[in-house]
Amino acid sequence: MKRTIALCAVLLALCASVAGCRDSRTLPMGADGKPKITIMVGGLDKVIYLPAMLTERLGGFRAQGIDVSLLSQPDGATAETSLLAGEVAGVVGFYDHTIDLQAKDQCLTSVVQFANVPGEVEMVAANKAGRIRGWRDVRGHNLGITSLGSSTDFLTKALANRAGVHPDEFTPVKVGAGQTFIANMDNQAIDAGMTTDPTVARLTSTGKGRILTDLRTEQGTRAALGGLYPASSLYMSCQIVQRYPEIAQKLANALVGTLRWMKTHTPGQIAAKMPPSFASGGKELYERSIADSVRMFNGDGRMNPEGARNVLNVLSEFSVNVKPRKDRIDLAKTYTTRFVDRVPR
């Protein structure tokens, strides 16, 4: 019995030292007795997720008295895995993951909704623009996505499906974002692909890529997807939100404060607050990339219910996870406005 107890104690100690064994329903505590909040961002330098880093740069998290660390992953699928493993408290990524995961019996909820459109752009390599003039033309081509299971993967399949092109009729290629996306297009590893600013601005300014579908505006999103498609957001596990409502409220206060700030400042003023490394293509190009995308942000952090319903409809057209369970998805569990509604003016 003593040997058994000792062995159990050793195993528990080992488990506690491994991030993957940590209880995903709790937050780690710092030396000051306050929760340490780590948020994984699906690409910190992407303009679609700009409010996360901007909040840190404006001192928004500190003003709320919370200890927040921002980490970066090149795609939402990897960030989602980190959240489910309990390695991070939240993810700044696409809302559609909350629906996809509910179909797998996991509960995630959007706490702050940054935008009601994806902010993504399907770019065609300049030397293929004559052959790929619409989504019907993607048959037989290599299409770049950040990774399999990412939101760019979801959207690529959805747009192709709406044009009558089955996912088996084109080849999705994992190319990440930023310079790796550009390199794959330069090397002709992909003929077209889905990406965001500032990569879009770099491709269009150099003439290397042309826009096929622009999901940075409400008009473009409605035309392509039949309605709004809420995307970038802060989402967390339902259990963490229920256990730490005060943390969720402080995060909402900080992020909504930033969304409001963005509505009263120019792209140049926004760019000036961001890390200089984000403007690797040059200051003017970075400001242009923000100007081209900044209208996507809603300014209040609230979910558009019509948009949430449309995301479910789009996913149910092709997703092997969502399609058979569409009628059992409870959208009320995939987002909440409880916290953003309480943000002080």
The span from the CA of 11 to the CA of 13, in Å, is: 5
Q: 103 and 322 in contact (C-beta within 8 Å)?
A: yes
| Start-end of CATH 3.40.190.10 domains in the chain | 2-117+230-284+301-342, 121-214
- Structure tokens, 175: 């190319």
In the prediction, which pLDDT does 19 show? 41
**pLDDT band, residue 24 (cuts 50/70/90):** low
Rounded to an integer, what distance in angstroms lies between the CA atom of residue 123 and that of residue 106? 33
Contact by Cβ (8 Å): 123, 193: yes
Question: What integer is the mean pLDDT of 6-23?
Answer: 43
pLDDT of res. 22: 52
Q: What is the CATH number of domain 121-214?
A: 3.40.190.10
Contact, 82 vs 18, CB < 8 A?
no
Express as a percent the part of the chain with pLDDT over 90: 83
Whether the per-residue pLDDT at 177 is higher than 80: the answer is yes
How far is 33 from 340, CA to CA, in rounded Å? 26
pLDDT computed for residue 30 by the predictor: 82
As a three-state string, the secondary structure of the chain is CHHHHHHHHHHHHHHHCCHHHCCCCCCCECCCCCEEEEEEECCCCCHHHHHHHHHHHCCHHHHCCCEEEEEECCCHHHHHHHHHCCCCCEEEEECHHHHHHHCCCCCEEEEEECECCCCCEEEEEHHHCCCCCCHHHHCCCEEEECCCCCHHHHHHHHHHHHCCCCHHHCEEEECCCCHHHHHHHHCCCCCEEEECCCHHHHHHHHCCEEEEEECCCHHHHHHHHCCCCCCEEEEEEHHHHHHCHHHHHHHHHHHHHHHHHHHCCCHHHHHHHCCHHHHCCCHHHHHHHHHHHHHHECCCCCCCHHHHHHHHHHHHHHCCCCHHHHHHCCHHHCECCCCHHHCCC
Query: For residues 158, 97, 176 and 79, what is the CA-based torsion angle, rounded to 10 degrees?
Result: -170
The pLDDT, as a whole number, for residue 47 is 98
pLDDT digits (tens, 9 = 90+) for 241-289: 999 999 999 999 999 999 999 999 999 999 999 999 999 889 999 999 9
Range ranked top by mean pLDDT from 7-16, 33-42, 306-315: 306-315
Q: How confident is the model at residue 1 (pLDDT cuts 50, 70, 90)?
A: very low
| pLDDT tens figures, 86-122 | 999 999 999 999 999 999 999 999 999 999 999 999 9
The reported pLDDT for the residue numbered 10 is: 41
Instruction: Write out pLDDT tens, residues 286-307.
Output: 999 999 999 999 999 999 999 9
Could you tell me which residues are beta bridge partners of residue 94? 232
pLDDT at 20: 43
pTM of the full predicted structure? 0.90
pLDDT above 80 (res 179): yes
- Residues 308-328: tens digit of each pLDDT: 999 999 999 888 899 999 999
Q: What is the pLDDT of residues 190-243, one digit of tens each?
A: 999 999 999 999 999 999 999 999 999 999 999 999 999 999 999 999 999 999
Q: Cα dihedral sign for 316, 47, 250, 23? A: positive
| Banded pLDDT at 124 (limits 50, 70, 90) | very high
Tokens 């493993």 appear where? 85
The pLDDT confidence band at residue 6, using thresholds 50, 70 and 90, is: very low
- Inform me whether the pLDDT recorded for 149 exceeds 60: yes
pLDDT value, residue 300: 98
Res 17 pLDDT > 70: no
Give the β-pairing of 142-145 and 171-174.
parallel
The whole-number pLDDT of residue 23 equals 61
Res. 21: pLDDT tops 70: no
Count of residues in the chain: 345
Residue 61: pLDDT band (50, 70, 90) is very high
CATH superfamily to which 2-117+230-284+301-342 belongs: Periplasmic binding protein-like II (3.40.190.10)
